[in-house]
Chain A
């Protein structure tokens, strides 16, 4: 490329106000970042509609989708449920996203959530007589540490031995699941008087309080959205700051974008990999704690409910950016919450939601396909979202 042509192509628009540049930098390729994901969601919904037509006939599409939309967004109860489902997705999504930013594929969010949720529960039910302002943060921190340990292990294995984190995190997921099952049968953890694997109940002082009870609507005290959502949003802001405004984030991103250049620049690749995986684990641990301290109030087998895997999908959809992760998590939360309503009110089962989510990811993973279908031109060609096995 000649120098002249770059000048023409890349010149930022003149007179862009500073605030606009701050929230929407002109260096960002908006077609890739916004248009393609939106079109991917649209395409998935269209194919979902085709599936409904094939299984339940034409007449079923409109009632199903309308129930989906209402169940997701219409009324306080719907919004509360959407955001409630979105909360652990935000945290686990951030976990996967920070991994991607550093070139690591953290498939272990499930396992990290499991361990984090478990450690949070243990602290949550075992320390009595403490005020909530101390007990709750303590339980959350226990969750963070538990998850961080589960991220630290594959981090060290990757950094020191080169064992690929995709393999090790998947295996650690299984270990975490079975550890949970085992622990839930231990005396002192298993709920007294129960024979099935269920933990003791988290004390009130360690539960995330609900936050919509003050609303002047009927049944406001039944709205389940809790403080965990605010905490998750705060974490998204913090992770944004960490990734893009701090030296630590610079190191993580440098290692992700080009490890040899990072090493050349004096960055310790080993420290960065272990640090990122621990951070990712901690975020997933928080997601696990959110489930056990918030919605459930205890730990049960499989309480993570595949959230750690949905997190991978929404981190991809959100382009590994904290803002994108929050929006994607809310979208997925809406699909889940709305899907339940759809299941009740129409003949279409909630499995369709899983299909739609999977289709979104297929389209996200193949941006060229979306470009071809909708004739979107320009923007950066971007094939791969993650790095391969051999790196």
Chain B
């Protein structure tokens, strides 16, 4: 089967999301579609999957023009999609999820025939080496396995062309290896694959051909056997990008943050942080590596005053701040870049200035008594917009209208513009464009060089390796390894992260 997008254009009010895009994929090959967040990858795939209709251009399958009115048409034509955010019913079994919408039925009254479905599912699972228990309940399964269910769903519907939308964003390094094997297996079996990603390493690893999308346009194709990361990054961003963070060796000073025997429970009262101790010194960047969900979130919440730890102590510059509130910490020069910028870092319905003063609105010079000085707040916001290169027409625009990278820069501006002694940055560059990543990384290093103690928590190994002077690996709530930054390798950290070498 051969799938072509010809001259596809999609406009939204004020935006051209896709601009005359041509794309071809055939059975038995993997097309890597590379582009930054906001480049138009998702829109393009939604057109292909029948969720949007193109304003111009056509979709051609085996030289016949097709018209998809909805995902149903796309599925019927043999196009399948493995979504970035899984579309599974948590309380259903694997089998029930797979058949949802295409339930095989039994005569005479059309009762659901799950036995039949289960046999077919087992067949698919064997054929592609997807190793899965059809009777398991989805909510009990790890993320990597849930993704396999999505793949089985697509195969169950006889897809010939399969789109993977950022499939690795939620996976551990080991699971990423497995998904590469699965994708290659599907290719061997004659499926055509579109692999969407913004990660350069992945696309070089897995793709047979690479197409790069920038601002809605295909700006070039590349051959993964000859292309380098630098070339791809330049195509993707539109200018040369410095992929390596320039930094001098750290000059660690006094201990700024000291965590002693910290135990934190999560909302379900499970022990999420299990007896953790470490120190961060002035002028050094400590990175905490680990697969998401191993206690990093709870650790950061406890350090930033958002949760009260069960036991243990947090000491900041010699003072016990175990029970300090977020505001106490703020006043003690702690900067916090939260894990999820849209959930807790910003108020998307508030404008840029309101977000800039989110944690300092209550004091001079932003307010006097209870009277806010919005003129001053906007003036201050305008300065930061300039200084931190936040791309927004003005400080009156809602934060929700900014791109992800600019939202993150807004948070960085808010937190770094003050005098900072300790920076706690959680997933500081998740899901943002390469240009903004480069910028935020250099800012963090700058803060370190000015004497701040920096704690970075990230599930992106590359980020930890690029930034950290010292790396701690967290697994199941414990610090299982400490490695000096310059000696660490991805494969070694990957093993620690999986808990195997601990």
Contacts and interface: CB of A to CB of B under 8 A. Distances in A.
Interface residues of A, number: 32
B393 interface: yes
B374 interface: yes
Contact of A264 (B359, B391, B401): B359
Given A12-B393, A246-B372, A247-B370, A3 B403 contact: yes
Contacts of B348: 257-258
B403 to A, nearest CB: 6
A6 B403 contact: yes
B2 to A, nearest CB: 31
Nearest to B391: A3
Contacts of A12: 393-394, 396
Most buried by A among B326, B348, B370: B370
B344 A260 contact: yes
Contacts of A246: 367, 370-372
B347 A266 contact: no
B406 A257 contact: no
B81 to A, nearest CB: 22
Contacts of A7: 391, 393
Contact of B401 (A6, A262, A265): A6
Contact of B392 (A6, A248, A257, A265): A6
B370 A248 contact: yes
A27 B398 contact: yes
A253 B351 CA distance: 12
Contacts of A4: 215
Interface string A1-37: 1111111111110000000000001110000000000
B96 interface: no
B325 interface: yes
A387 interface: no
A257 B306 contact: no
B14 A245 contact: no
A160 interface: no
A245 B374 contact: yes
Interface in B355-403: 358-359, 361-362, 367, 370-372, 374, 391-394, 396-398, 401-403
Contacts of A5: 14-16
A250 B401 contact: no
A270 to B, nearest CB: 12
A98 to B, nearest CB: 15
A248 to B, nearest CB: 5
Contacts of B39: 2
Contact of B306 (A2, A3, A258, A264): A264
Given A245-B372, A248-B370, A261 B344 contact: yes
A378 interface: yes
B247 interface: no
A2 to B, nearest CB: 5
Contacts of B361: 247, 250, 265
A223 interface: no
B403 A250 contact: no
A10 B397 contact: yes
B14 A8 contact: yes
Nearest to A268: B325
A11 B403 contact: no
B106 interface: no
A254 interface: yes
B52 interface: no
19 contacts: A2-B15, A2-B39, A2-B403, A3-B391, A3-B406, A5-B15, A5-B16, A9-B401, A10-B392, A247-B370, A250-B354, A254-B347, A258-B346, A260-B343, A264-B336, A264-B338, A264-B358, A264-B359, A265-B326
Interface of B: 13-16, 38-39, 215-216, 304, 306, 325-327, 330, 336, 338, 343-351, 354, 358-359, 361-362, 367, 370-372, 374, 391-394, 396-398, 401-403, 406
Can you list the 8 inter-chain pairs with the closest CB atoms, starting with the nearest?
A: A266-B327, A9-B14, A265-B358, A260-B344, A3-B391, A5-B15, A265-B359, A266-B326
Interface of A: 1-12, 25-27, 245-248, 250, 253-254, 257-258, 260-266, 378
Given A6-B403, A264-B338, 14 more contacts: A2-B215, A2-B403, A3-B403, A5-B14, A10-B393, A12-B396, A25-B396, A27-B351, A257-B350, A258-B343, A258-B348, A261-B358, A266-B327, A266-B359
